[in-house]
Structure 1
Amino acid sequence: MGWGRGEAVDGSETGWGRQAEPAPRWRALLDRARLAGRGAEHHDVDHRAEETPAPPPETLPRRAAGTGWTGRAQAVARPADASFGAEPAYRVEATYRVEPAHRVDPRYGGEPAYQAEPAYRAEPEPRAEPSWRAEPEPRAEPSWRAEPVRPPEPGYPEPPPRGRGTASVESRYALLDGGYQPEAAPPESRYALLDRGRYRPEAHPDPEPARIEPPRIEPARVEWRAPEPETELERAAGVLRRELGGPRVLAFANPKGGVHKTTATVLAAATVGSVRGRGVLAWDDNELRGTLGLRAGSARHARTIRHLIHDLAQIEILEGATLLEHLDDYLRHASDGSYDVLAGEESPRFAQRLDQFTVKRVLELLRRTHDVVCVDTGNNVESPNWRTVMQAADQLVVTTVPREDAAFSADWMLDLLHEEGMGELADNAVTLISCPTPGRTPLQDDLERHFATRTRAVAVVPYDPALETGSSIEYHQLQAETRQGWLKAASVMLEPFAR
């Protein structure tokens, strides 16, 4: 490669036989800065140097190693006495300059890429932080947090004052964190001394400032009051509502007719049924023509004990609800539904005496379906059905009226029961005296005293005009006094079994 000015030196090949290094960017910038610093006095010299053609350089032998500047710049002027091939003396100020070819070359010339970009602007001055970031000054604690000032105790040193600004350098929290311990513990309060039994103040201290105490809610006071004494009627109704420990049979008996056996059987069943609500039955066990079915219950059918005995074998093998459903076809019901009625035979043509075995089967069937069975026993004490009912009865009720013949018949029956081995039944019997007329007779007092010695209790039921006609008995149509009398009498009958 020659050193002539007409040849373009791009820096890709050196004059020393190896690849030239690319001109660094800072060199082009340095040359430009030097050219700009020369001033106006060197401008003409540069033009003259460019106008004067330089002699062609002679060919030089290759060197062993390059200087690193070969091909990057050429001498503008050469001294006349310099020997050919020697290194020219380079002037820093005006000898060297960048060739135009190198200025055009984007790799060595000033490029837009090396200009200051807008992104590299100077950072703006830091703005002052807004006031809200500054920590606020600590506010003084409200007065309600401050402990009230107590007067000093007599005989004790005054405690040191407690102030928030006592520590100048370290805050109170730093002292606490560092395990600060006061030099002397404050004296014990008067309350602690009182608990130990040592403090006995000679005089009361000044009263503390008045405080607004919250309203005190007094606890509810439960006052115990003795229950009011239970009335006799309430006690009687309570007895009838209790469990009886199983089905109970009440036998109403007196060999004398017209002594209110049927009336007593109906009203006793109606009274117990009105309190208990269900499970009560009245049975007319009169071997002759009985009237219980006519005086009690609705005439929804004409079936009697005879029809039940005819189908007894098919009914007694049933159980539960099926048994109640089939037995209901043979029973009559009170108008208010409080009790059931098993009527006796009402036609003299079909009247028949029941044997002992049949009576037991009927009683066993009724015990399975009802809690209380009231039986009208009739007048024949020699009949097997009368004796069978007496032997199966849980409670005997001797009915009578204030008449001597009725009382004599009842007294004779009690003697008969003792003779037949049923003295316990007679002694635990209840004598029921029904008043057929209003008012009280002297004979009634004598009868009450007499039967009180022979039976467990004596009950008296008052007269009621609704019973005088002998028609159908409606319990709700009776007078209040009559219903109360029957309520007391029925409770006396069932009281031994109530639990």
Structure 2
Amino acid sequence: MDGSETGWGRQGEPAPRWRALLDRARLGGRGAEHTDADRRAEEHQAPPPDPLPRRGAGTGWTGRAAAVGRAADGSYGAEPGYRAEATFRVDPAFRADPRYDGEPAYRAEPAYRTDPEPPAEASWRADPSYAPESPVEPSWRAEPEPHGRAEVPVESRYSLLDGGYRPAPPPPESRYALLDRGRYRPVLPPAPEQPVAPAPRRPVEGRSGRIEPTQVQWRAPEQDPELERATGVLRRELGTPRVLAFANPKGGVHKTTATVLAAATVGSVRGRGVLAWDDNELRGTLGLRAGSARHARTIRHLVQDLAHIEILEGNALLSHLDDYLRHASDGSYDVLAGEESPRFAQRLDQFTVKRVLELLRRTHEVVCVDTGNNVESPNWRTVMQAADQLVVTTVPREDAAFSADWMLDLLHEVGMGELADNAVTLISCPTPGRTSLQDDLERHFATRTRAVAVVPYDPALETGSSIEYHQLQAETRNAWLKAASVMLEPFAR
């Protein structure tokens, strides 16, 4: 294969100029020792232009360039400032192979281009997208650094790689930054075990005077004196167990609600000894609206075992009776549920009702009874005769008020006028707001009963579900506290 064609059938590229220079460097510049093969190889090369153009001024990376001319033997000498690498050694006995020709497998990279020498003034690489305003001004304008980045000196294009770049440190965080964000709370020193008397205050003298701290005293919020008085009444001793009967012949006048809330209010203050009994003859709902249904026992089961329970005493009586009672969620009062079967009402005769009331008085201090609607039944009249306090429940409606007024007249006719005169009228508001009829009812029943109490509307009672005393609004609880104290005030000691 000759030097004009490669092994793949394409024309061989002429040997570049740098290969002749490299040969001269390897032979030490001795043109006389060229062999015939070397001359034949040079004859195949295109003669370089004479002379070579002068390069620009050096930039510090290489030596200053000089003109290169053809030697007498027709070859090019090495550059005056050229020195081989320190690791390169030329064997003095080296002789070029007469069969040496340009390496046919060599191909120059298509993308190879000789980079032009940068100007002496440029020490850093400009942004390719930058366009100078005019060719006369060669100065470069660097774009402003982004916020938070330090300016970089332009000593070298490799200054960023050499560690010249240092990010700007963040501004020192304020010592109050944690306080502003709410994540830091200073740890206060422990309070002294013994009270320390405050230091006497001294007057301030001038701007440099010291102001002594004043003593801060915590005061409890002032309470309503009526609420304090009502709480005190409910905490007093009652002498003997008391029975409160909630009555009105008309249905839907909040008898059951009043019975539950009165027991819950008194029980929340006294803490124990309060019971609510559903004595409604026609399927009462007190057992569903009050207490936790931990069992299905009612008054019917208690009456069946009454003979075995009423002979017990002390803790044995309390333990056996507890099997027939339900308890409020907070344990403030107990519940004796009524029977749902209307046929059982025939068994609650006058004698049986007295025995049940006597048993409950032995175990509880306050018994709240939800009466039925039949004023002619022996059960209803027995409860009225045994009651210590009558509570007439009504709502601001004419039919409910008429039924309550008629019941008071009936009690006077049957010889229980004293109970009617000492009764407490409880007006429950089923809707928010106050009507003119409510004012008329308050004035009317104030002339017929000992006192009139009004309890406001509460949305927690509107659904008719289980009654939870702690879920009532504060205004409702305060009103019931005053109403319950009015009911028990004649018996408090």
| TM category, shorter | 0.5 to 0.7
2:286 matches 1:270: no
Q: Find 2:471's aligned residue among 477, 480, 484.
A: 477
Task: Give me the whole-angstrom Cα distance separating, in 1, the residues matched to 2:450 and 2:243.
Answer: 17
2:392 matches 1:398: yes
Pairs aligned (count): 272
Task: Give me the whole-angstrom Cα distance separating, in 1, the residues matched to 2:281 and 2:443.
Answer: 33
SS in 1 for 2:425: strand
Q: Find 1:255's aligned residue among 249, 252, 267.
A: 249
1:179 alignment counterpart: none
Over 3 Å counting, the alpha-carbon distance change for 1:322 and 1:381 in structure 2 is: same
Unmatched tracts of structure 2, length 5 or more: 1-221
Over 3 Å counting, the alpha-carbon distance change for 1:422 and 1:379 in structure 2 is: same
**C-alpha distance after superposition, 1:52-104 (max 9, x if no partner):** xxxxxxxxxxxxxxxxxxxxxxxxxxxxxxxxxxxxxxxxxxxxxxxxxxxxx
1:244 alignment counterpart: 238
Task: Give me the whole-angstrom Cα distance separating, in 2, the residues matched to 1:314 and 1:266.
Answer: 29
- Cα offset, 1:378, TM superposition: 1.0
Task: Give me the whole-angstrom Cα distance separating, in 2, the residues matched to 1:283 and 1:337.
Answer: 16
Q: Find 2:277's aligned residue among 272, 277, 283.
A: 283
Contact 1:438–1:462 (CA<8 Å) still a contact in 2?
yes
SS in 2 for 1:454: coil
Q: In proportion to residue count, which structure has more helix?
A: 1
Contact 1:288–1:352 (CA<8 Å) still a contact in 2?
no
2:359 matches 1:368: no
Letter matched to residue 365 of structure 2: D
- Cα offset, 1:351, TM superposition: 5.0
2:349 alignment counterpart: 355
2:489 alignment counterpart: 495
Contact 2:292–2:329 (CA<8 Å) still a contact in 1?
yes
- Cα offset, 1:348, TM superposition: 4.5
Task: Give me the whole-angstrom Cα distance separating, in 2, the residues matched to 1:428 and 1:239.
Answer: 18
- Cα offset, 1:368, TM superposition: 0.2
2:230 matches 1:231: no
SS in 2 for 1:406: helix
1:178 alignment counterpart: none
Letter matched to residue 279 of structure 1: G
CA RMSD, aligned part only? 1.2
Contact 1:249–1:375 (CA<8 Å) still a contact in 2?
yes
- Cα offset, 1:287, TM superposition: 1.1
1:336 alignment counterpart: 330
- Cα offset, 1:276, TM superposition: 0.1
Task: Give me the whole-angstrom Cα distance separating, in 1, the residues matched to 2:367 and 2:388.
Answer: 10
- Cα offset, 1:352, TM superposition: 3.9
Q: Find 2:459's aligned residue among 458, 465, 475.
A: 465
Contact 1:262–1:291 (CA<8 Å) still a contact in 2?
yes
Over 3 Å counting, the alpha-carbon distance change for 1:232 and 1:353 in structure 2 is: same
Task: Give me the whole-angstrom Cα distance separating, in 2, the residues matched to 1:352 and 1:384.
Answer: 10
Task: Give me the whole-angstrom Cα distance separating, in 2, the residues matched to 1:350 and 1:303.
Answer: 14
**C-alpha distance after superposition, 1:372-398 (max 9, x if no partner):** 000001101011010000000000000
Structure-to-structure mapping, 1:174-323, within 5 angstroms? 231-323=225-317
Task: Give me the whole-angstrom Cα distance separating, in 2, the residues matched to 1:353 and 1:232.
Answer: 45
Unmatched tracts of structure 1, length 5 or more: 1-227
- Cα offset, 1:229, TM superposition: 9.4
**C-alpha distance after superposition, 1:120-164 (max 9, x if no partner):** xxxxxxxxxxxxxxxxxxxxxxxxxxxxxxxxxxxxxxxxxxxxx
Task: Give me the whole-angstrom Cα distance separating, in 1, the residues matched to 2:278 and 2:271.
Answer: 21
Task: Give me the whole-angstrom Cα distance separating, in 2, the residues matched to 1:253 and 1:373.
Answer: 14
1:431 alignment counterpart: 425
**C-alpha distance after superposition, 1:277-329 (max 9, x if no partner):** 00000000011101000000001000000000000000000001100000000
Q: Find 2:411's aligned residue among 412, 417, 426.
A: 417
Task: Give me the whole-angstrom Cα distance separating, in 2, the residues matched to 1:403 and 1:266.
Answer: 22
Contact 2:281–2:342 (CA<8 Å) still a contact in 1?
no
TM-score computed with the length of structure 1 as normaliser: 0.54
Task: Give me the whole-angstrom Cα distance separating, in 2, the residues matched to 1:324 and 1:362.
Answer: 14
SS in 2 for 1:323: helix
Task: Give me the whole-angstrom Cα distance separating, in 1, the residues matched to 2:306 and 2:294.
Answer: 21
TM-score computed with the length of structure 2 as normaliser: 0.54
- Cα offset, 1:346, TM superposition: 2.1
1:22 alignment counterpart: none
Q: Find 1:389's aligned residue among 380, 383, 390.
A: 383
Contact 2:242–2:388 (CA<8 Å) still a contact in 1?
yes
Q: Which moved more, 1:340-349 or 1:316-325?
A: 340-349
Task: Give me the whole-angstrom Cα distance separating, in 1, the residues matched to 2:303 and 2:340.
Answer: 15
Task: Give me the whole-angstrom Cα distance separating, in 2, the residues matched to 1:346 and 1:318.
Answer: 28
- Cα offset, 1:481, TM superposition: 0.4
